[in-house]
Every structure is written in structure tokens, then in C-alpha cells.
Structure 1
Amino acid sequence: MCLTFENLPDEIILYICQYLRGADVLYSFYNLNTRLNTALTGYCRYVNLMGVAYKKLTYVIYHVLPCIGQHVRSFCLNTYWESMIPDQLSQLLYSSRLCGIFPYIENLTVRGFSSERLQVFLDCIENLPRLDNLKIQFLSGSSTGICLRKLFSANQGRLSKVFFDWNSIDLDIPQDTSDISCPNIQELTIPLTSINTLARLCKVIPNVHCLHVNLGTFFVDIGNCAEAFEDVSPLLRLVDFSIDSIDWFCPFDAFVAMIRKMPSLQKLKFNLCTEEESFLVEENIRMNLPISCYQIDYFIDYSPSEMDSEIKNLLTSKRTVPSSVHLLFDETHDILNIHTVPCCIQSFVLSGSVAKQMMSGSSYAEHIRNLHIYDAQCLNDVFQILQHFRHLHTLSINTLNSLTMLNNSTTSNKPIVFHLPYLKQLRIDGTCELSNLLDAASDLYQFNVDFDCVKMFIQNHARSTRTNVRSIDIFNWTDTHAELLQHITQTFVTLNHVNIHMASRTSTMDSFLLEYLPVCKNGMQVSLGVKGSLSEQVQTNIRQWVIDHSHLSEKDSFAVQYRRDWFQLWF
């Protein structure tokens, strides 16, 4: 018996949709018939249109979203679209009309906004009775450009959960917070400029239950950071707290002053860089915690001005080290890392030199999602570390010398086996052989790499990769020809977007684009972004210039612009 797609049972149709991107499902199947529309109603609750073709996005916004909007509970809005899509579509999404399209939305994600643009957009979020969760990703601009009172009071104060990702700028808070109170905020993840800023934040969110903070590298008010908590009222409802300040040296007295304002704390997680030995004794921390605290996880980067003999004896003997912690010593920089076992924090920062000191197994690191490996001297050290971090979502690797090639030299004949099935983002600073890393990360989505590194990979590998890479950022591009770019799209067959950062800002990208555009005739319609200088003559009528030098016509569905030194061509 042969069945057409629309005659399949709902369960099978929805099962098939799991393997397709949301935009592809809505573009291909919605409005084919009434039965399919009914079957897809539940599927439409979580709409993510990121990383799709221009034609599909504009079609879904114009023809589908107004029909399914009342069923949508979660939506992601990218500021990149605003200047690229037609004005009539921008007015649907970036104005108060958004509330009419999604009247029952519960979770809204905004991506790529500047702090100034977000301030304006917040006025558009109103009278949405179910919207209580706002996620902000890749926020740029000024650290003081966001008015927290306006942010936390958006949607008539209905927001209870606000999340900033770690790719967003560190935020500052005014000294005087006496007229600010946001009792509606219960869960908050936020990057801040300093621990003093955190103290000011605590004054305005008295009912927070869950607070996750990432501190930046600003030192302007470090001198009195312990005193900053003196006039902070206890956060009586805070039960889950985590702080990440690996780029800032945290004083122990400031840490104690902070956690003493959390009398109901149950879970504490911290990732700190310090010069003080007080952090090395866990009892010093526990004695300042409330009796309600039953879980503590930490990663401490201890970097004293001089490593004394007592600490070095501890490292060599390990007799007094309890089984609940593990030590890693970076001899190159005299840095001691201490972490709990198991370790339920989100991020690790490790030197390549500690590869042979890692614990056996991987279960103790199953909660770690982000890993940065610095000063790596050879890939085998990297692989030896990675075999313990199967559940990573993001990975960045920095070589000891960015101009030195990482090699596979090893004294062991036994290959190091590692798998990264959940890895979504990979960044490599320097040059190394990519095959093993890409083979291990079959579900990789975003890849950032240097020009020399990807060039070496393309030259050595004729076959396509097994990864699902959709977007690549290539830095320090020095080639004046576009032939390599064509090979890249043939190797990464799932690729739909490439960003190129030109090494030289003095020469224009005109000649490079003149070589790339004709290549699209062969069906290679990968959207392109190029960071660099474009001649004023081309900028005058950039769309017509692209049409004149490619197979594209005025009737084709594509967008092109040049803003802030970025050329963007979106198919």
C-alpha cells in the first residue's frame, strides 16, 4: 500500500517533523490542507526561524505567522532581520503589532540587539498576559545603555524570568537604586561589570529565587567591594545562586559578605579566580553558609603571586586532599585549579598542560557545558582533556602560540578516543589539524576558525565532512580569490552561511566579491557576510551591483546590505 505524505497518521507526520527545522516545516507543509494545519497546531507552539533562507523566512512571516500566532508559546526574534526584510514585515515583528500576532506567547528570545535598540523594543512588549520569560542573546552596545527598571518592568511587570547569555555585554547599575524595586523577578541570569554592581542589583530584586551572575573584568570599584554589601537587605527567598568571575580576582571577604546575605540558600556554585589561600580550605567557605545549603560546587583558579612550599608539598603528596575535590596544577603559570567531584557547574577553563592530571572517567564532568582550553601545545593534550567532557555544548581552543601549528605528536601509539555528540559551537584560535575534532562533533552548528587552519584542512581533505555545520566564521582571511570559499561550501555540505573577516582593512573587498558572485551560478547559494572595506561606488547602489555581477535578477528573493563595515548577502 502506498500513502501520500498528507495521508500519513498525525503521529508519523509529527515524528518526521522532528528531523526538520521549524521554518522548513512551516514553509513546506502549512496551508497544504486543513488536516495538515490541524496536525501542525501543536508543533507550532515553539517557533524558531534562525538560520533559514531569506525566501523561507519572508514567506513564513507574511503568510504563516499571522495564522498560527495564537498557538505560538515561544518565539525567537533576531535583530539581523530588521534591516534585511521588507519594511512591511519589519513593522509586524519590531513594533507593538508583535503582541497582536502572538497574544498568548510565554517565552520570547531577542537576539543581536544593541542596548539602545532593546530599550526602544521594550516599549513594544505590553499586554501579553502569559509572557513571563525573556531571553536576551548577544546584546551589544553600552554597559549603561540598559535601564534595568524598564527591562524588569516590561509587559506591565509580568516578567518573572530574565536571562542574558554570556555573549552579551557586562551590564552596569547606577549607584543610586533607592527608587528601583522589581519584586516580580524570581529567576535571573545576568552578566555584570563587578561585584559592586552585584551588590546594587541585590537591592532591587528582593524576591529572587534563582540568581546566576557572570562578573566582568572591570576594576574601577574593587577597593571597597566587601563594604558594598553592608546595606543590602537579606535575600530571604534566594535558594539557588551561582557566580562566575574567572576573569576577575575575587577577595575572600567580599565573597563572605555576599553569601551572608543569602540566609535561605540551598545550592551554591562558583567559578572564581583568586590569590587568597582562604578559598583552598572548603571549611572556610562552609562555615559562612546557612544550614539550609546542602549542595556546593566550585572551580577555583588559584593564582598566587608566589606559590609557597606548603602548597607545592600538598600538590606532590595529595595526602590531605579529600576525595570530594580534585587538584590540577599548571606548572607553566604556577596556577592551581581545584574543583569538586562531581562538578555541577557550567564552565571550565583549563591549561593544555594539565591533560595528564585529569581524573579517569567522564561522569564527574557530565554537567559541564562550556570548556576553554588555553596554551595547548599539541592536539593529543587537547584530546586527552576532551575525552572527559562528552556533554559539551561550546568549546574553544587557544594554542600556546597562535602562529604555531598544533601537531599530533605523542609518545603513545594508542589513539585517544573522544566523542562530542552535543557540541554546537567550536572556536579554534591558531592552526591545527581539524579532522578528529570535526569527526567527533557530528552535530556541530557554529564553527569559528582562522583562515590558515581551514585552508590547511581543505587542502588535505577532498571528502565532505560528517558534521552538520550550518555557519562558519573565518578570521584573518588573506586570500584575494574566492576559489577556496567554493571548496569550503563543497566540503561542509550542510553550510548555509559564511562570515569572512578580512585580515587587511586597507584594501577593499570588491575584487573578492567579483570572484565570489559568479560562483553562485552553480547553485552554491550560501549566504555570505564579509567584514571589511567596500568602495563607495559599490555602496551607492549595492543591490544593482550584485545583480549586474551575478546570475541574480530583480525578481529573485534575496537581500543585500553594507552596514558598519559588514557586507551581507542573504539568499
Structure 2
Amino acid sequence: MSTRFEDLPNELILKIYSYTRIDDLALAFWNLNQRLNDLIRSLKHLSLILATKTETFASQLFSQQIGRVVILTLKDIQLNSFINLSSLILNIATEHHLKQIQPDVVPNLVYLSIPIAFESHVTRHLASQLFSNRFPALRYADVNIVDIPPILSWSQSPSLQSLHLSSPSINIIPLILQSCPQLIHLQIRMTNQQDFDSSLTELPRTNHPLKNFIFTQYPTSKSIFHIASLFPVIPNVRRLDFHLCTSSFTNLIQSISESFLQLNCFDCQIIEYPNQSQYADLRRIRSSRACYSNIQCTYQEKSFCLYTTKHH
């Protein structure tokens, strides 16, 4: 005895729908009958990928049900029809796309990813909104290039918990810590070799809850960032991942050990330059804490040493 698709229970049909692309959902199942239409209308948080067109039949049909949009085209996309949008990924973004990231257009934004760098007045304006609580639901942001605003006008964004960005200035870090008092994860990549300038920003006087701190120095930079000056304000860090230069690997490890009592994960790719007259005592360092057990001296010569963990 054969079974028709319509004979399946609602739960099984909904399961099938959950594995179906939104465009196929619209073309294959819409308007077959009222029951299937009602089941499709019950779906929430649909995901739409726009790669070649500005809009599709599915994007029009399910605009109020779409919770995630991925833009892979340079063509102009209108976001204001997706009134329940909570996740936006701009793999290829234009100024038109960026200008639409406004509180009145995407008020329910929880996840924002802009992996390609844009250096313009548009991104500076976007950063000022992100770090001034204009998107009160935002939890995760990958905004790439962020520079220090000409006027230190950021307020606070207590909802932000995870942040990925690049910046030409290391002085952006104190500003971020001040602006994001509930930040748990911070990943920052330097695009220049500017060092801390205490006249630009002050370190926050709070016991910040940051748990994960990933810092990557400008690839060709040989400048020594005095990053240890940040440690007292982020004592709750449990995971560190450092790609940087230091004048003393031993002193840096000692500062890390004294500052982060809860540290349980440590990864690094650290150049000691110019290297000390005596190399670091790796046996003592590895035995001092479990998270140091994978540290090794990968390369050494007269002018410098390279210390890494096995993960790097």
C-alpha cells in the first residue's frame, strides 16, 4: 500500500521542511493545499542566502518568517522587508548594504558578521551605533575594521557578549572594555603597529567578566606591545591566545600566571626579540600550570626565539 506525502503526520512533514532550502520550500510545497501552507507558515527563523539576485519568490513569500540572511552579492538588497531578522551575514558588502544596518531597519539583530574590511565613514558610524546600545538585542558582532572614534562618544552596549574585530590601534581595547561591560569573548587583530598611548584612553576601573581573549599582532610588526598593562582589569580570563612580540617570554608568562588565576587554556605564537641572554626555562614553565604543557621553542637563533603551542 503506497503512502502519499499528505498522509504523513505534521511532525514528520515539519522535520522534512527543516532540511529543505527556503527556495525549494516555496517552489515545491507552497500552494499544494491549505494544510501544507499552514505548516509552512508555522515555520520560524528561516534562513535565506542571496547569491545572485536581489530577491527571490521565497524571500517575498516568507519575508516575515526569515530570521537569518546571508548576502553573497554586490547587488542592492533591501533589508526592511525582513522585519524579524535576527542574524545578518554580509560576506560581500557594499556601502548600500552597510547603510541599512540601522536600528529602525533591523531592530532585533542578535548576530552580525561583516568579515570583509571596510574603511569608510559608513563603518565608523556603524561602530558608534554598535558600541552605544543602538542594537539592544545584539549579542555577537564580527565588524572587522574599527578605529578609535574622533570624539570618545561611545556609551555602553551591555548586551554584547562576543566581539571579533580588526583595528589599527591597540588603544581600542580599553574603549571596548568600557563600552561592553558584559563581554565574554574578545578577538582582536592589529592592522598597524601602534602601541598603547595612555593619553588617548584610560583603562576601565572594573573587574571585567571577559573570559576569552585572543590577540593577534600585525604580521610584519616587530614592535613590543605592553599588553600586560591590560591584565589587571580582566582578571577573569580563562582562555588566552597570543600572537605577538615580547622582549621577555619568561616575564610575560610570569605576568600571565600572576594575573589570571583561573586560566585553563593557553595558546601562543610569540616572538621574543631581541632574545634574552638565557633562554626560557621551558621545563619549569610547563610544570607550573597544566595549560602551559604544550609550549615549545619552535625556532631560535642569535637574535630571536619563537615560542608556540602544539595547536599553532
Residue 255 (structure 1) aligned with residue 227 (structure 2): yes
Distance 2:207 2:266 in 1: 23
SS at match of 2:242: strand
Match of 2:129 in 1: 150
Distance apart, 1:149 and its partner CA: 1.9
CA change 1:261–1:307 in 2 (3 A) is closer
**Structure 1: gaps of 5 or more residues:** 84-89, 341-347, 351-571
Alignment of 1:104-115 (within 5 A): 104-114=84-94
Structure 2 CA distance for aligned equivalents of residues 249 and 43 of structure 1: 53
Closer/same/farther in 2, CA of residues 162 and 281 from structure 1, 3 Å limit = closer
Which one of the candidate residues 142, 157, 160 is aligned to 1:164? 142
Q: 1:141 aligns with which of 102, 118, 140?
A: 118
TM-score by length of 1: 0.46
From the two aligned structures, give the one with the greater helix fraction.
1
> How many residues align structurally?
302
SS of the aligned residue for 1:15 comes to helix
In structure 1, C-alpha distance between the alignment counterparts of 2:249 and 2:300, rounded to whole Å: 23
CA separation of 1:250 and 1:76: change in aligned 2, threshold 3 A? farther
State percent identity of aligned pairs.
Answer: 15
Does 2:270 match 1:302?
yes
The CA RMSD measured in Å over matched residues stands at: 3.6
Cα distance in 2 for residues equivalent to 1:335 and 1:105: 49
Secondary structure at the aligned position of 2:216 is classed as strand
Q: Partner of 1:40: helix, strand, or coil?
A: helix
1:331-370 equivalent positions in 2, closer than 5 A: 331=299, 335-339=305-309, 350=312
Distance 1:45 1:279, change over 3 A: farther
- Give the TM-score of the pair, scaled to structure 2: 0.77
The partner residue of 1:76 within 69, 78, 86 is: 69
Q: 1:19 to 1:159 in 2, by over 3 A?
A: closer
Instruction: Give 1:216's aligned residue.
Output: 190
1:200 is displaced (CA, Å) by: 3.3
Structure-2 change in CA distance of 1:104 and 1:237 (3 Å): farther
Deviation at 1:306?
5.3
Deviation at 1:189, TM superposition (A): 0.9
Larger RCO of the pair (alpha carbons < 8 Å, separation 6+): 2
The offset of 1:230, in angstroms, is 6.5
- Aligned residue type for 1:176: I
Partners of 1:17 and 1:339 in 2: CA distance: 44
Superposition deviation, residue 135 in structure 1: 0.8
- The question of 1:26 aligning with 2:26 is answered yes
Say which SS state the counterpart of residue 244 (structure 2) adopts. Answer: strand
1:190-339 matches, cutoff 5 A: 190-191=164-165, 192-203=167-178, 205-219=179-193, 221-222=194-195, 225=196, 227=198, 231-246=202-217, 247=219, 251=224, 254-262=226-234, 265-278=236-249, 282-289=253-260, 294-305=262-273, 307=275, 310-311=278-279, 314=281, 318=283, 321-322=286-287, 323-324=290-291, 325-331=293-299, 335-339=305-309
Point out where structure 2 has 5 or more consecutive residues left out of the alignment. Answer: none
| In 1: Cα distance, 2:138 partner to 2:26 partner | 30
CA distance in 1, matches of 2:142, 2:32: 38
State whether residues 69 and 88 of structure 2, in contact with CA within 8 Å, keep that contact through their aligned partners in structure 1.
yes
Give, in whole Å, the separation in 2 of the partners of 1:117 and 1:238: 36
2: CA distance, partners of 1:117 / 1:259: 40
Query: In structure 2, how many angstroms separate the alpha carbons of the residues matched to 1:144 and 1:202?
Result: 23
CA distance in 2, matches of 1:297, 1:227: 29
Kindly name which structure, 1 or 2, has the bigger radius of gyration based on alpha carbons: 1
